[in-house]
Amino acid sequence: MNQDTEKSTTTPKNKPKANNTKKPPFRMNLHIVFLSAILIIAIVCVYKLYKWNKGTPSDYDPNIQTTEFDVEALDSIIPLAPDKLEGHEDDGVTTILCLGNDPFSLNKGEFGLAEQIAAKSGATVYNGSFTGSKIGATFDYFNDGYWMDAFSISYLADALCTGDFSLVMDAAYYSYDPEFVPTVEMLQSLDMNDVDILCVMYDGIDYISKTPSDDPGDPYSVVAYTGALRTAITQIQETYPHIRIVLMSHTFCHNVNEEGNFENGDRIDLGNGTLSHYLLKEIDVASDCGVSIIDNFYGSINEDNYLDYMTDYIHFNDAGRELLAQRFVDCILPVEEAEE
Protein backbone atom coordinates (compact mmCIF):
# COMPACT_ATOMS: atom_id res chain seq x y z
CA MET A 1 0.00 0.00 0.00
CA ASN A 2 1.48 3.24 -0.96
CA GLN A 3 1.73 6.28 1.16
CA ASP A 4 -0.97 8.26 -0.65
CA THR A 5 -3.54 5.53 -0.18
CA GLU A 6 -2.78 5.37 3.48
CA LYS A 7 -3.34 9.10 3.88
CA SER A 8 -6.65 8.92 2.16
CA THR A 9 -7.90 6.18 4.45
CA THR A 10 -6.66 7.61 7.69
CA THR A 11 -7.47 11.31 7.28
CA PRO A 12 -11.30 11.05 7.25
CA LYS A 13 -11.14 8.81 10.24
CA ASN A 14 -9.22 11.32 12.40
CA LYS A 15 -11.03 14.55 11.24
CA PRO A 16 -13.48 15.90 13.86
CA LYS A 17 -17.13 15.88 12.90
CA ALA A 18 -18.99 19.21 12.42
CA ASN A 19 -21.25 20.30 15.36
CA ASN A 20 -24.74 20.54 13.91
CA THR A 21 -26.54 20.92 17.36
CA LYS A 22 -28.65 24.21 17.61
CA LYS A 23 -29.64 26.03 20.87
CA PRO A 24 -33.37 25.98 21.50
CA PRO A 25 -35.06 29.43 21.06
CA PHE A 26 -35.83 31.45 24.28
CA ARG A 27 -39.45 31.10 25.35
CA MET A 28 -41.05 33.44 27.94
CA ASN A 29 -42.87 31.64 30.72
CA LEU A 30 -46.28 33.30 30.98
CA HIS A 31 -46.79 32.00 34.49
CA ILE A 32 -43.70 33.84 35.66
CA VAL A 33 -44.86 37.03 33.91
CA PHE A 34 -48.27 36.91 35.55
CA LEU A 35 -46.80 36.18 38.96
CA SER A 36 -44.34 39.04 38.59
CA ALA A 37 -47.09 41.47 37.60
CA ILE A 38 -49.23 40.39 40.53
CA LEU A 39 -46.28 40.79 42.87
CA ILE A 40 -45.53 44.32 41.58
CA ILE A 41 -49.17 45.37 41.92
CA ALA A 42 -49.29 43.97 45.45
CA ILE A 43 -46.14 45.87 46.44
CA VAL A 44 -47.52 49.14 45.01
CA CYS A 45 -50.84 48.66 46.80
CA VAL A 46 -49.15 47.94 50.12
CA TYR A 47 -46.97 51.04 49.76
CA LYS A 48 -49.90 53.31 48.90
CA LEU A 49 -51.93 51.92 51.79
CA TYR A 50 -49.03 52.55 54.15
CA LYS A 51 -48.60 56.09 52.86
CA TRP A 52 -52.35 56.77 53.16
CA ASN A 53 -52.46 55.48 56.72
CA LYS A 54 -49.45 57.58 57.63
CA GLY A 55 -51.11 60.75 56.29
CA THR A 56 -49.40 64.08 55.70
CA PRO A 57 -47.75 66.26 58.36
CA SER A 58 -50.03 68.98 59.79
CA ASP A 59 -48.87 72.57 60.15
CA TYR A 60 -51.18 73.05 63.16
CA ASP A 61 -49.38 74.10 66.32
CA PRO A 62 -51.67 74.05 69.38
CA ASN A 63 -49.33 76.40 71.22
CA ILE A 64 -49.20 79.11 68.59
CA GLN A 65 -50.60 82.52 69.52
CA THR A 66 -52.33 84.40 66.73
CA THR A 67 -54.68 87.31 66.23
CA GLU A 68 -55.99 85.92 62.95
CA PHE A 69 -59.75 85.46 62.80
CA ASP A 70 -61.14 82.02 62.11
CA VAL A 71 -64.43 83.46 60.88
CA GLU A 72 -65.35 86.18 58.45
CA ALA A 73 -66.85 89.41 59.71
CA LEU A 74 -70.55 89.72 58.92
CA ASP A 75 -70.38 93.29 57.61
CA SER A 76 -73.12 94.49 55.29
CA ILE A 77 -72.27 97.86 53.76
CA ILE A 78 -75.14 99.44 51.82
CA PRO A 79 -74.78 102.84 50.13
CA LEU A 80 -77.63 105.30 50.33
CA ALA A 81 -79.93 105.12 47.30
CA PRO A 82 -79.48 108.21 45.08
CA ASP A 83 -83.22 108.90 45.07
CA LYS A 84 -83.07 109.48 48.84
CA LEU A 85 -81.01 112.61 48.18
CA GLU A 86 -83.52 114.20 45.85
CA GLY A 87 -84.37 117.69 47.07
CA HIS A 88 -81.58 117.66 49.65
CA GLU A 89 -78.93 120.36 49.35
CA ASP A 90 -75.40 119.12 50.04
CA ASP A 91 -73.34 121.61 52.03
CA GLY A 92 -70.07 119.92 51.04
CA VAL A 93 -69.24 118.87 54.60
CA THR A 94 -69.55 115.28 55.82
CA THR A 95 -71.44 115.47 59.11
CA ILE A 96 -71.83 112.44 61.37
CA LEU A 97 -74.11 112.11 64.40
CA CYS A 98 -73.17 109.34 66.85
CA LEU A 99 -75.85 107.82 69.06
CA GLY A 100 -75.17 105.15 71.65
CA ASN A 101 -73.83 104.58 75.12
CA ASP A 102 -70.46 103.95 76.79
CA PRO A 103 -68.27 103.35 73.69
CA PHE A 104 -69.00 106.97 72.70
CA SER A 105 -69.82 108.60 76.04
CA LEU A 106 -66.81 107.48 78.11
CA ASN A 107 -63.28 108.81 77.70
CA LYS A 108 -64.17 111.76 75.51
CA GLY A 109 -61.28 113.80 74.24
CA GLU A 110 -58.39 113.04 71.93
CA PHE A 111 -58.78 109.28 72.32
CA GLY A 112 -62.59 109.19 72.39
CA LEU A 113 -64.35 107.10 69.77
CA ALA A 114 -66.24 109.99 68.18
CA GLU A 115 -63.12 112.17 68.23
CA GLN A 116 -61.04 109.46 66.54
CA ILE A 117 -63.66 108.99 63.84
CA ALA A 118 -63.47 112.73 63.20
CA ALA A 119 -59.65 112.70 63.12
CA LYS A 120 -59.45 109.70 60.78
CA SER A 121 -62.20 110.81 58.40
CA GLY A 122 -61.98 114.59 58.43
CA ALA A 123 -65.73 114.70 59.05
CA THR A 124 -67.61 116.87 61.51
CA VAL A 125 -68.77 114.51 64.26
CA TYR A 126 -71.40 115.15 66.94
CA ASN A 127 -71.55 112.90 69.99
CA GLY A 128 -75.11 112.27 71.17
CA SER A 129 -74.41 109.35 73.51
CA PHE A 130 -75.56 108.65 77.06
CA THR A 131 -73.65 106.46 79.52
CA GLY A 132 -75.57 103.40 80.70
CA SER A 133 -78.39 103.73 78.17
CA LYS A 134 -79.75 100.77 76.20
CA ILE A 135 -81.27 100.10 72.81
CA GLY A 136 -84.47 98.59 74.22
CA ALA A 137 -86.62 100.40 76.77
CA THR A 138 -87.44 98.71 80.06
CA PHE A 139 -91.16 99.55 79.87
CA ASP A 140 -93.45 99.79 76.85
CA TYR A 141 -94.68 103.14 78.12
CA PHE A 142 -92.64 105.88 79.79
CA ASN A 143 -92.41 105.44 83.54
CA ASP A 144 -91.25 108.39 85.64
CA GLY A 145 -89.70 105.89 88.01
CA TYR A 146 -87.34 104.72 85.28
CA TRP A 147 -86.22 107.86 83.51
CA MET A 148 -83.30 106.10 81.75
CA ASP A 149 -85.80 104.82 79.19
CA ALA A 150 -85.86 108.35 77.76
CA PHE A 151 -82.32 107.73 76.46
CA SER A 152 -83.09 104.45 74.72
CA ILE A 153 -82.82 104.55 70.93
CA SER A 154 -86.56 104.78 70.14
CA TYR A 155 -87.13 107.77 72.45
CA LEU A 156 -84.06 109.59 71.11
CA ALA A 157 -85.14 108.99 67.52
CA ASP A 158 -88.60 110.33 68.27
CA ALA A 159 -87.15 113.49 69.82
CA LEU A 160 -84.83 114.04 66.85
CA CYS A 161 -87.66 113.55 64.37
CA THR A 162 -90.34 115.60 66.14
CA GLY A 163 -88.10 118.21 67.71
CA ASP A 164 -89.76 117.65 71.06
CA PHE A 165 -86.99 117.03 73.60
CA SER A 166 -89.04 117.82 76.72
CA LEU A 167 -89.15 114.22 77.95
CA VAL A 168 -85.46 113.63 77.25
CA MET A 169 -84.47 116.91 78.89
CA ASP A 170 -86.52 116.19 82.01
CA ALA A 171 -84.80 112.83 82.29
CA ALA A 172 -81.42 114.49 81.83
CA TYR A 173 -82.09 116.72 84.84
CA TYR A 174 -82.89 113.63 86.90
CA SER A 175 -79.52 112.19 85.97
CA TYR A 176 -76.44 112.51 88.14
CA ASP A 177 -74.27 112.53 85.01
CA PRO A 178 -73.14 116.11 84.26
CA GLU A 179 -72.82 115.25 80.56
CA PHE A 180 -76.49 114.45 80.02
CA VAL A 181 -77.97 117.95 79.93
CA PRO A 182 -75.28 119.43 77.60
CA THR A 183 -75.69 116.43 75.29
CA VAL A 184 -79.46 116.92 75.09
CA GLU A 185 -78.95 120.63 74.44
CA MET A 186 -76.57 119.81 71.59
CA LEU A 187 -79.07 117.38 70.03
CA GLN A 188 -81.86 119.91 70.42
CA SER A 189 -79.90 122.60 68.58
CA LEU A 190 -78.54 120.29 65.86
CA ASP A 191 -80.02 120.76 62.39
CA MET A 192 -80.68 117.21 61.24
CA ASN A 193 -80.80 118.39 57.63
CA ASP A 194 -77.03 118.91 57.92
CA VAL A 195 -76.42 115.35 59.12
CA ASP A 196 -75.18 112.97 56.42
CA ILE A 197 -74.50 109.83 58.47
CA LEU A 198 -76.04 108.49 61.64
CA CYS A 199 -73.70 106.10 63.46
CA VAL A 200 -75.36 103.96 66.16
CA MET A 201 -73.33 101.86 68.59
CA TYR A 202 -74.25 100.36 71.94
CA ASP A 203 -72.16 97.83 73.84
CA GLY A 204 -73.52 94.52 75.14
CA ILE A 205 -75.65 96.15 77.86
CA ASP A 206 -78.92 94.90 76.33
CA TYR A 207 -77.66 91.32 76.56
CA ILE A 208 -76.50 91.85 80.16
CA SER A 209 -79.75 93.61 81.09
CA LYS A 210 -81.74 90.72 79.60
CA THR A 211 -83.55 92.90 77.09
CA PRO A 212 -85.74 90.59 74.96
CA SER A 213 -83.98 90.06 71.66
CA ASP A 214 -87.26 90.34 69.76
CA ASP A 215 -91.03 90.14 70.05
CA PRO A 216 -92.55 87.81 67.43
CA GLY A 217 -95.96 89.36 68.04
CA ASP A 218 -94.80 92.96 67.59
CA PRO A 219 -91.77 93.69 65.40
CA TYR A 220 -91.84 97.33 66.57
CA SER A 221 -91.99 96.71 70.31
CA VAL A 222 -89.76 99.33 71.95
CA VAL A 223 -88.95 97.01 74.86
CA ALA A 224 -87.40 94.47 72.49
CA TYR A 225 -83.89 94.82 71.10
CA THR A 226 -84.93 94.45 67.47
CA GLY A 227 -88.23 96.30 67.90
CA ALA A 228 -86.58 99.40 69.36
CA LEU A 229 -83.98 99.44 66.59
CA ARG A 230 -86.57 98.93 63.87
CA THR A 231 -88.80 101.68 65.32
CA ALA A 232 -85.95 104.20 65.52
CA ILE A 233 -84.53 103.44 62.07
CA THR A 234 -87.92 103.55 60.37
CA GLN A 235 -88.86 106.90 61.92
CA ILE A 236 -85.53 108.48 60.97
CA GLN A 237 -85.72 107.12 57.42
CA GLU A 238 -89.20 108.56 56.99
CA THR A 239 -88.31 111.97 58.47
CA TYR A 240 -84.77 112.35 57.13
CA PRO A 241 -84.42 110.10 54.07
CA HIS A 242 -81.12 111.76 53.13
CA ILE A 243 -79.34 110.39 56.22
CA ARG A 244 -77.30 107.23 55.76
CA ILE A 245 -77.73 105.02 58.82
CA VAL A 246 -74.88 102.79 59.98
CA LEU A 247 -75.18 100.30 62.83
CA MET A 248 -71.98 99.35 64.62
CA SER A 249 -72.62 96.13 66.47
CA HIS A 250 -71.55 95.35 70.01
CA THR A 251 -68.22 93.62 70.56
CA PHE A 252 -67.40 90.62 72.71
CA CYS A 253 -67.96 91.15 76.43
CA HIS A 254 -68.54 89.25 79.65
CA ASN A 255 -71.46 89.12 82.02
CA VAL A 256 -70.71 89.45 85.71
CA ASN A 257 -72.79 86.94 87.67
CA GLU A 258 -74.13 87.23 91.22
CA GLU A 259 -70.90 85.80 92.61
CA GLY A 260 -68.89 88.49 90.83
CA ASN A 261 -67.39 86.07 88.33
CA PHE A 262 -67.00 86.76 84.62
CA GLU A 263 -69.18 84.71 82.27
CA ASN A 264 -68.38 84.44 78.57
CA GLY A 265 -71.09 86.38 76.75
CA ASP A 266 -71.04 84.06 73.77
CA ARG A 267 -71.49 80.93 75.88
CA ILE A 268 -73.95 82.02 78.54
CA ASP A 269 -77.58 82.54 77.61
CA LEU A 270 -79.16 84.89 80.16
CA GLY A 271 -82.64 84.11 78.91
CA ASN A 272 -82.81 85.83 75.52
CA GLY A 273 -79.85 84.38 73.68
CA THR A 274 -76.09 84.80 73.69
CA LEU A 275 -74.16 87.77 72.31
CA SER A 276 -73.90 86.18 68.87
CA HIS A 277 -77.69 85.73 68.88
CA TYR A 278 -78.14 89.47 69.50
CA LEU A 279 -75.69 90.15 66.67
CA LEU A 280 -77.72 88.06 64.22
CA LYS A 281 -80.90 89.82 65.31
CA GLU A 282 -79.26 93.21 64.70
CA ILE A 283 -78.13 92.05 61.27
CA ASP A 284 -81.72 91.01 60.52
CA VAL A 285 -82.95 94.52 61.38
CA ALA A 286 -80.27 96.12 59.22
CA SER A 287 -81.27 93.89 56.32
CA ASP A 288 -84.99 94.57 56.80
CA CYS A 289 -84.45 98.33 56.92
CA GLY A 290 -81.79 98.49 54.20
CA VAL A 291 -79.05 100.05 56.33
CA SER A 292 -75.39 99.24 56.81
CA ILE A 293 -74.03 97.22 59.71
CA ILE A 294 -70.41 96.82 60.80
CA ASP A 295 -69.81 93.57 62.65
CA ASN A 296 -67.56 94.37 65.60
CA PHE A 297 -68.28 91.08 67.36
CA TYR A 298 -66.31 88.96 64.89
CA GLY A 299 -64.51 91.69 62.95
CA SER A 300 -63.09 93.93 65.69
CA ILE A 301 -62.92 92.92 69.34
CA ASN A 302 -63.61 89.25 69.94
CA GLU A 303 -63.05 86.46 72.42
CA ASP A 304 -59.48 85.93 71.21
CA ASN A 305 -58.15 89.49 71.40
CA TYR A 306 -60.34 91.34 73.94
CA LEU A 307 -57.55 91.50 76.53
CA ASP A 308 -55.66 93.84 74.20
CA TYR A 309 -58.58 96.23 73.74
CA MET A 310 -60.71 96.20 76.90
CA THR A 311 -60.18 97.51 80.43
CA ASP A 312 -62.72 95.24 82.09
CA TYR A 313 -65.62 92.99 81.18
CA ILE A 314 -67.23 95.48 78.74
CA HIS A 315 -65.36 98.81 78.42
CA PHE A 316 -62.63 99.73 75.93
CA ASN A 317 -59.15 101.17 76.29
CA ASP A 318 -57.61 103.69 73.89
CA ALA A 319 -56.47 100.96 71.51
CA GLY A 320 -59.97 99.49 71.45
CA ARG A 321 -61.61 102.79 70.56
CA GLU A 322 -58.94 103.41 67.93
CA LEU A 323 -59.67 100.02 66.37
CA LEU A 324 -63.42 100.68 66.31
CA ALA A 325 -62.92 104.12 64.78
CA GLN A 326 -60.65 102.72 62.08
CA ARG A 327 -63.18 100.00 61.25
CA PHE A 328 -65.89 102.61 60.79
CA VAL A 329 -63.76 104.78 58.54
CA ASP A 330 -62.51 101.83 56.48
CA CYS A 331 -66.04 100.54 55.92
CA ILE A 332 -67.98 103.77 55.48
CA LEU A 333 -65.47 106.50 54.59
CA PRO A 334 -62.50 104.94 52.80
CA VAL A 335 -59.25 106.90 52.74
CA GLU A 336 -59.69 108.14 49.18
CA GLU A 337 -63.16 109.49 50.02
CA ALA A 338 -62.01 110.96 53.34
CA GLU A 339 -59.16 112.80 51.61
CA GLU A 340 -61.59 114.40 49.16
Q: For 141-163, what is each residue's pLDDT tens digit?
A: 898 889 999 999 999 999 999 99
Q: What is the pLDDT of residue 29?
A: 66
Confidence of residue 63 (pLDDT cuts 50, 70, 90): low
Residue 339: pLDDT band with limits 50, 70, 90: very low
User: How confident is the model at residue 55, as a pLDDT?
Assistant: 54
Task: Please say whether the structural domain 86-254+264-339 has been given the CATH code 3.40.50.150.
Answer: no
Of the candidates 252, 255, 248, which has an alpha carbon nearest to the alpha carbon of residue 305?
A: 252
Q: Looking at the predicted structure, is the pLDDT value of residue 57 above 90? A: no
- Position 336 pLDDT exceeds 90: no
List the beta strands (DSSP E) in the chain. Answer: 95-100, 124-129, 197-201, 244-248, 254-256, 262-264, 292-294
**3 state DSSP class of 248:** strand
**pLDDT, tens digit, 9 for 90 and up, residues 225-261:** 999 999 999 999 999 999 999 999 999 999 999 999 9
Q: Name the residue ranges covered by the structural domains of the chain.
A: 86-254+264-339
Cα–Cα distance measured from residue 105 to residue 315, given in angstroms and rounded to the nearest whole number: 11
In this predicted structure, what is the pLDDT of residue 26? 52
Query: Cβ-count burial of 256 within 10 angstroms (0-12 exposed, 13-18 middle, 19+ buried)?
Result: middle
pLDDT at 236: 98
Distance CA 50, CA 78 (A): 54
For the ranges 38-42, 48-52, 148-152, which has the lowest average pLDDT?
Answer: 48-52
Q: Please tell me the predicted confidence (pLDDT) of residue 239.
A: 97
Q: For residues 99 and 295, give the distance between their C-alpha atoms in angstroms, rounded to a whole number.
A: 17
- pLDDT score at 40: 84
CA distances (Å), 57 to each of 61, 63, 64, in order?
A: 11, 16, 16
Tell me the CB-side half-sphere exposure of residue 299, using CA atoms within 13 A: 20
Task: Give the DSSP letter string of 23-54.
Answer: PPPP---HHHHHHHHHHHHHHHHHHHHHHHHH
